[in-house]
A and B are shown apart, each in its own frame.
Chain A
């Protein structure tokens, strides 16, 4: 075998050569046959190995795909954070008066290198503008300091009134203007355009057109131009680019205006400082440097998203202030405290924003993404706020998870999936909440309990809508409820028992369904009796009858064979057989729902259906048409009342623990004696 594997696995393996060698070496057919089986078993081995490999690759592929999906979510989150940060930095840059000086001084320090980089950037910018000027005919000089091309692309212009296509155009968006150019046709090489119009962004408004696909319009009073982008993504690009351009332009304007204001404010500040320094009782206490810089450092840490460090610094400062309470002059103490309080507020705000649920944030990062913010908020004694927000995140997660459950298809599959997703996610959330986010916090735990109750109620409202549609059978319902109970049981491990809540929500619709089923079943019984001729049931063949006998034995009627007659007959009527089956099914379904709330409805159902059947038997006995069939009626009545009734209530007692069910007694006393008495009367 080894050698076989070796030789087959060789690089220069040639089947013909191998067979030739083999036939030379082997003596007689037996040996050859032996070789053949060897080869075959090797083939099989390789086959299974291949299969395993395929399977292994497949699982790996699935795992990787999952991992990628996770990663995608995280990347999304990350990009969101980055854009947030970018806007933060932008606003910082535009609001600081000193930023330019800083960057200037930075240039000096870093020497020529920075300047070179700047040069390259500047060159690129100019080159780009020149390129555009070259491609657009009749274009004015675009090269204005600080003007940059932000976006360009092809668009289709539409008639603003009739929405019909007018022409193909190419649009350029710059930091301060927007240029529209029409296409010049039939040219070789790169596309060329003819300058058409120029708009100043100051006088331009951009509007998203909702009811024409991928369209937006530019309002440049009194002109209105409608453009259509090739697809939604490109349209959104244009809209966001326009927005960015306008925002940045306005901030530039504000900056210009702001500079002077800032200067006056600064002056006021310095005056105050001077004033302070002239106060006679200047404390000699040296505050540690970090405390002096506390506010600024905290600002930086928060902006850079080093929340943990910020938190540490805050607690350090708090501790220090506590410790040196009597050494720090009161006004400085107050000032620092006020600043500190302000920064704590700021940090809290940033963190709560982090947790805020908003439509443009992805939830794929899920609860893990919220952990950090929650932890720090807890440390800042903002547990209740964090708890509130966290629960909102949870609700959102649950909602988005449940959205993926397909609502079409069979009711029971939907309910199963929906319930699985709901409880699965809830368990995940519970775990995160009780063990990771808010351990040892009774207040938050009770908020969580309230939350689960609310969610489970919403969940049941959805399920009830799906489950209790007309014509749903009890078996279907019982199957669904079984599943829900089972799933709900899993949550009990965390000390959260929602069954009461679920049963409460089920009570009203379930009672109604039970009553409906009761009425329907009684109706059916009436129909069956109207067609019943009271004849023994002929199953045509022995096999068929054996099958029936077997079925009834499985139900627990051991002496069913005593009703056999001939080869294919059974002395019970078809009506009796059907009733037995229906009733057993009904009973089993009811026992699944059995709960103190529903006892009355269930007992009523079990009693009335059985009583209806018995009443019909009773009237059949009295019916003159069936005088001759009195024997078979008695047999059937006895089966129903003696055997079947006690059988049913044995099952009932076992399941409910009620050893002496009232309805059993009632049925027995109402119908138990009738057949014998009346028969004697008729015989």
Chain B
């Protein structure tokens, strides 16, 4: 990759995770193509790439839309390894999907072995306020506990759709800069990460 003399825009790899049917694909498609897809068809694993301007700098975003239905955690591991940032999506109309975010979070931390991995908790289907099952408070307190931002979106009305992707990219970018610094300074700061992992267990 270093052979590229022509400056390639930075590539940020984002992974959508969450239970089946919470709207991961809908968010992705809304962000990619400005369209809302009403028909539901379970995703296997789809990837998308798009050039965007992030704070005046041209970057590429690579979105991996994973299967909510995947039954086997072992398969999910392989997807998560390649991610630099995660949008953990649940539906505010479905408590089960909110509970499932715990499991996703744990798996991501385990796979990435990193407690500070760029991560956003996203409550989707914000337009369906009359069917809300997960209160704002509940979601916010969980996000606080994890030390991650919480954003409510609606893939249907495009509310906050750009925001979640751009916020995540900013975190990934900040994280990458920090890593470079760390690497230049005194080698990799592995110790910190390891320690955090212990906290989890």
B78 to A205, Cβ gap below 8 A? yes
A206 and B45 alpha carbons, distance in the complex (Å): 7
Q: Are B79 and A207 in contact (CB under 8 A)?
A: yes
A232: min CB distance to chain B, Å = 14
Contact with A162, one of B8, B47, B72 (Cβ below 8 angstroms):
B8
Interchain CB contact under 8 A, A221 and B81: yes
A202 at the binding interface (Cβ < 8 Å): yes
- Bound CA span A204–B79, Å: 8
- With a cutoff of 8 Å between Cβ atoms, the chain A residues found around residue B45 in the complex are 205-208
Contact, CB under 8 Å: A224 / B78: no
Provide the residues of chain A in CB contact with B1, threshold 8 Å: 161
Q: Across the interface, which residues of A come within 8 angstroms of B47, CB to CB?
A: 207-210, 217
B75 near A207 (CB under 8 angstroms)? Answer: no
Give per-residue flags for B173-192: 1 if the beta carbon is below 8 A from chain A beta carbons, else 0.
00000000000000000000
How many positions in chain B have a CB within 8 Å of any CB in the partner chain?
22
* Residues of A with C-beta under 8 A to B46: 207-210
CB closest residue in chain A, given B60: A161
Shortest Cβ gap from A252 to chain B (Å): 12
Inter-chain contacts of A208 with B (CB < 8 A): 44-47
CB–CB B82/A250 < 8 A? no
Known interface pairs A161-B11, A205-B45, A208-B46. Does A219 touch B81 (Cβ–Cβ under 8 Å)?
yes
Q: Is A289 an interface residue (CB 8 A)?
A: no
A237 to chain B, nearest CB (A): 14
Tell me whether B78 and A250 are in contact (CB under 8 A): no
Q: Chain B residues with Cβ under 8 A from A207's Cβ? A: 45-47, 64, 79
Annotate A546-586 by CB proximity to B: 1 below 8 A, 0 otherwise: 00000000000000000000000000000000000000000
Interface residues of A, CB < 8 Å — how many? 23
Does A335 make an interface contact (CB < 8 A)? no
Contact A250 B79 (CB under 8 A): no
Asked if A246 is at the interface of the complex by the 8 Å CB criterion, the answer is yes
Question: A359 an interface residue at 8 Å Cβ cutoff?
Answer: yes
A207, A221, A224, most chain B CB atoms within 10 A: A207
The answer to whether the Cβ of A149 comes within 8 Å of any Cβ in the partner chain is no
Q: Is A530 an interface residue (CB 8 A)?
A: no
- Residues 189-206 of A, flagged 1 when their CB comes within 8 A of B and 0 if not, give 000000000000011111
Closest A residue to B9 by beta carbon equals A161
How far, in whole Å, are A239 and B47 apart by their CA atoms in the complex?
A: 13
Cα-based distance from A243 to B70 in the complex (angstroms): 11
A218 to chain B, nearest CB (A): 10
Contacts A/B (CB < 8 Å), 27 sampled: A161-B1, A161-B11, A162-B8, A202-B74, A204-B78, A205-B45, A205-B75, A205-B81, A207-B46, A207-B47, A207-B64, A207-B79, A208-B44, A208-B45, A208-B46, A209-B46, A209-B47, A210-B46, A211-B32, A211-B48, A217-B47, A219-B78, A219-B82, A224-B82, A243-B44, A246-B75, A250-B74
Closest 7 CB pairs of A and B: A205-B78, A221-B81, A207-B45, A205-B79, A207-B47, A219-B82, A208-B46
Contacts from B to A (Cβ < 8 Å): 1, 4, 8, 11, 32, 39, 41, 44-50, 64, 72, 74-75, 78-79, 81-82
Contacts from A to B (Cβ < 8 Å): 161-162, 202-211, 217, 219-222, 224, 239, 243, 246, 250, 359
